[in-house]
Structure formats: C-alpha cells, structure tokens
Amino acid sequence: MSSMMRLISILLAVLPFLGVGNALAWGRIVNVTQPCVFHGPTGYAWLANITSFSHCSGIIISGLKVPAGVTLSLRNLKNTSVTFQGETSWGYQEWAGPLLSIEGNNVTVKGAPGSVLNGTGELWWDGEGSDGKTKPKFFKLKLTNSTVDDIRIVNSPVHVFSINNCRNLTLANIMIDNSLGDKRGGHNTDGFDISESSDITIVGAKVYNQDDCVAINSGTNIVFRNGTCVGGHGLSIGSVGGRTNNIVSNVLFEDSLIADSENGVRIKTKSGESGTVSNVTYKNIRLENITKIGITVDQSYGATSKAPTSGIPVTNFTLVNITGTVNAKGTNIFVNCGNSSSCESWSWSGVHVTGGKKTKKCLNLPAGISCS
C-alpha cells in the first residue's frame, strides 16, 4: 500500500471521531456509498467548509453542537435527504438568526426517532419577544417539491418556522414545544409564518407556544389539517398589509383544535394598507378555553385609533362547524370591517361559540353574519 493510500485509510478511520462521517476527507468526497455525517462539537467546522453536497448519498446531522451566532446552513440541495439524529443545539448569542436554514429542490428533511432541535430559548426569553434582547429566528425554509417530516423543536427563542418563497412543500407531524415559555417569558414564538409561498400543506402539527400557531402573511393554496394549537394566538390570516406581497388566497384550515389560546379563528389586516384576502375556509375547528376572542376579523390591526379601513377586502370567507368555548372574560365573536364592500360574500354555518361575552361593537357586518 502506498503512503498516500495508508494516510487516507487512517484518516477515514478517525474522521467519525473528529465530527464527520467517513464519506468526507479534507472537504472532498472519497466514498459516496455512505451519507455525509456531521456530529458533535467539531462537526460544524467540517460542514461549514463544504460547498456542495451533490456527491453525498444523504446528509445526517447527529448530535451536532452549532457555535453561537452562526446559522446551520444547508443550501443548494437537490434530490437528497437531511436527517437529524439525537439533539442538535446552538450556542447563545444575541443576534437575528436564523439558527437553521435549508434551501433546495426535491429534498426530504426528517427527524429520526427521539431526535430534537433544541433552541435553548430560555437563555433569550425576557417576556419582550421581538423587543428586548435580540433573539434569533429558528428555522428558515426555502424549498420546492419537498417534505419536512417528524421534526421536534423545543424552546425556540422567537419565531419558529419561516416558510418563505416555497413551492409544493409538505410539513407533516411537526412538534413545536415552547410550553416552558409560558412561565419563563417566551413571547412572539410563532409556529409557522408563511409568506410568498404556494401549495403548502401542514398536517398533524402540534404547537405549544405564545403567539400565532399559524400566521399566513401572503400566499396561495395553503392547507393546515389535523393540527393542535395550545397556548398561543390561534390560526391566523395575517397580519396582511405593508409588505411586498399582500395577497392571501385559497386557504383551508380544517379538523383542528385550538385550546387555551388568546384567539381561535382570526383574520387581521393592517389599517391604511392595501391587498386582498379571499377564499379562506375554516372547517371543523374546535375551540377550548379561548381567553380573548373566539372568532375575529379585524381590519384595523396596528391602528392606534382602532378605526377599520377597507383597503384589504376579505371576501369569500367560509366557516363550517366552528364550535367550542371562550373564557367568561373573553368575547365570542368580533367583526370590525371598514365598510360593507370590504367584507363580502361570507358564508357561516354550524358556528356555535359560547361562554364569552357578546359585543355590540361589531362594524359593517356582511349580510347573514351575526356577532351574537
């Protein structure tokens, strides 16, 4: 055996202990029959030097410890898989993030049994959310024709999933557990923020947080199904307005539970802005112990005067079988529309929300809709 071959053999034997599997040596591929594996406290240094994963049979992130102030970034992925094993964690630093970013086409992102992405949000939480300490967002996705499956996330510093410029993406069986933030000052811990994306399906999600379970700021053909949302601000459209893209259309929320949350069903459009919200359906949604408002459409979001405006009409808004309870101090239904044309073509059936107050402050209700 030549001295070079002997050196390669030795290196391949020790690489797993240095933080990268034996598919890589000196940042280049030497054995493509195995996935590229990055793990432990040294694995990130190896990963950061890889400019292409095109020759990897897959990517495994196993017990990786990411340094403070940097993004675990997997870019330009194509026709491959990313698997998380064990606990992936990040060091503490005040910065905007994201902690994790994955971009590509035809990518499968999955969590192995028992795996967890631990944001150690308790190190940042100060009760001020996006204010106070600078907190990193967690997980940025820019994927097409891809799936994200069986991912468990705990203790995000602030917003969790940022789904931006994605096409034909399915997220299945996602667990977001920020329940510790209820007592430790978690805030603005949105579960799924969606913008400028199309054909997005989220199924089987469980979200325990302190803000919107889902917030759709812009996008088309979006489905949230068989989900559980606890402790946050409910299933939301918006806030819409003031962005580059202010169009939301063809959205379906169905067969889901919203419990112990400030709001249940919510559409929020910004005062004084322009855009459209159309063809939105909530179907078979169960509310339990909503503390603020069970069902709300508010076209004055963000206005100090709280006067609704009509620049972002809400049309073809359908509710089917929305049932459940609101806390006695809360309000069952509140609708605040700018004028009669800014809230048109609404169809509500099987809406039965009780326990809270009935308000006489609703404005410009569409025909056939009641706040009582």
Return the active site residues.
Answer: 233
Reduced to 3 states, what is the DSSP secondary structure of residue 177?
A: strand
- Contact in structure between 327 and 290 (CB atoms under 8 Å): yes
Q: What is the secondary structure of 318-332 as a DSSP string?
A: EEEEEEEEE-TTSEE
Number of alpha carbons in the 13 Å side-chain half-sphere of residue 83: 13
Both tokens assigned to 105: 């086409």
Tokens of 71: 């993004």
- Tokens for 163, please give them: 């789904």
Q: Hey, which residues does 268 pair with through a beta bridge?
A: 298
CA distances from 302 to 184, 306, 359 (A): 27, 8, 21
Rounded CA separation 297/126 (Å): 30
Write out the H or E segment, with its range, that includes residue 161: strand 161-164
Residues 85/115, Cβ–Cβ less than 8 Å: yes
Q: Which residue has the tokens 């996705």?
A: 141
